[in-house]
Amino acid sequence: MTDIRVLVVMPLGAQLGGGEMMFRQLMQHGAGRGVEWIAAFTQDGPLVAETRALGVETHLVPAGRMRQLPKRVRATRALAALARERQVSLVLGWMASAQLLAGPAAWLADIPGAWYQVGLPRPDWLDRIATWLPARGILVLSEDVAAAQARVRPRRPQRLVYPGASLDRFEAARAEPPAEARAALGLPTDGPLVGIVGRLQRWKGMHTAIAAMPAVLARHPRAHLVIVGGRHDPEPRYEQELRALVQRLGLGAAVIFAGFQPDVPRWMQAMDVVVHASDHEPFGIVVVEAMALGKAVVAGDAGGPSEIITPGVDGLLAPFGDAGALAERITRFLDDPGFAARAGAAAHRRAADFSAERYAHGVADAVLAFALAED
């Protein structure tokens, strides 16, 4: 069968979070599954050149900001013209914000459309309008997201495709002993190291990880918490609040703010326990990455992580915002190294279910189903 062409409308030109990582993985691994991908960015940035370098046909169609209505109308028309010119079989909006352009462009071109809900839908205008626009279906990245999206009207057909992680990067990091990674990164070499990775956003729960540390230190006085992640511009004061919490709890040097770090696998490899304390994480790629390293993982008990982890087998779960429960899960691992090792080995096996290749193939199969479906 001849490959069908799919125009993917991407609203961001730089990686800000998991959605952009997922897009990159699709462009890297999505070929050879009956789909020829064509990328249309509505914002310039490094991802444009990266995508073009992968051999993917790539276009830049600047759309401006939401309030720049004339520019967005022109961009919508340009996307529709591109879809007709390239004879695509489907227009795929990447994220709800992209669907505001991709949906109307598909309608203007008289071509089927679909979009990928890469976040947790909320009852705001963006998700409501994106869902209202015509589409053959919506891709979702977890059962939790699927349930939330189903509550937004009108209901659209859904296809669940779990995201993947670049497991080869984390497999390579396993070769370095944690002690060596700690020494190379200037981290404490004695005592347990608990870590959390992510941008400094309140919903990611860094404050809960800090609040759990007094109870952890009561049992393991030489323990440290390292927070790997840079400031999130919309929440510029959150880092100050975290540092103030450290001082108020008298934690001093027991909490290390590492800031943004490009070599996340190495930082994770240095950790004994990896904490993921987010509130209703849509999926949790960081959880899979930590599991790929064979780490003892404690994650939130709602959202995507609860679909990844089997508690007591390949990790542990704790309620969002419950510092006591989080401390109990952390110390369970630290008190019983044998249990931590068994859970880490099971986590490494479980992570193989979430490879970037499997994810990209799943997206291609879902897109084919939408494109070939009967109206």
pTM above 0.95, yes or no: no
Each residue's pLDDT, cut to its tens digit, for the chain (375 residues) gives 578 999 999 999 998 788 999 999 999 999 888 999 999 999 999 999 999 999 999 999 999 988 899 999 999 999 999 999 999 999 999 999 999 999 999 999 999 999 999 998 887 899 999 999 999 999 999 999 999 999 999 999 999 999 999 999 999 999 999 999 999 999 999 999 999 999 999 999 999 999 999 999 999 999 999 999 999 888 999 999 999 999 999 999 999 999 999 999 999 999 999 999 999 899 999 999 999 999 999 999 989 999 999 999 999 999 999 999 999 999 999 999 999 999 999 999 999 999 999 999 999 999 999 998 876
Which pLDDT score is estimated for 1?
53
∠ CA 272-277-280, nearest 5°, is 140
- 250: its two tokens: 């008298």
In the chain, domain spans: 4-164+356-372, 167-353
Phi, psi values for residue 157, rounded to 5°: -55, 145
Separation CA 314–CA 323 (nearest Å): 21
Residue among 165, 211, 209 at smallest CA distance from 358: 165
Helix (H) or strand (E) holding 18: helix 18-29
Helix (H, G, I), strand (E, B) or coil at 182: helix
Which pLDDT score is estimated for 374?
72
Which pLDDT score is estimated for 193?
98
**Domain at 4-164+356-372, CATH class:** alpha beta
Phi, psi values for residue 292, rounded to 5°: -60, -30
**CATH assignment of 167-353?**
3.40.50.2000
Tell me the CA end-to-end span of the chain in Å, nearest whole number.
21
Which pLDDT score is estimated for 122?
81
Which residue spans within the chain are E strands per DSSP? Answer: 4-10, 35-41, 57-60, 90-94, 113-117, 137-140, 158-160, 193-197, 224-228, 255-259, 273-276, 296-300, 316-318
Which pLDDT score is estimated for 33?
85
Q: What is the pLDDT of residues 347-372, one digit of tens each?
A: 999 999 999 999 999 999 999 999 98
Which pLDDT score is estimated for 160?
97
Which pLDDT score is estimated for 158?
96
Domains 4-164+356-372 and 167-353 share a fold: yes
Cβ atoms of 89 and 4 within 8 Å: the answer is yes
The conformational region for residue 55 under phi > 0 = left, psi -120 to 50 = alpha, else beta, is left
The amino acid at 278: S
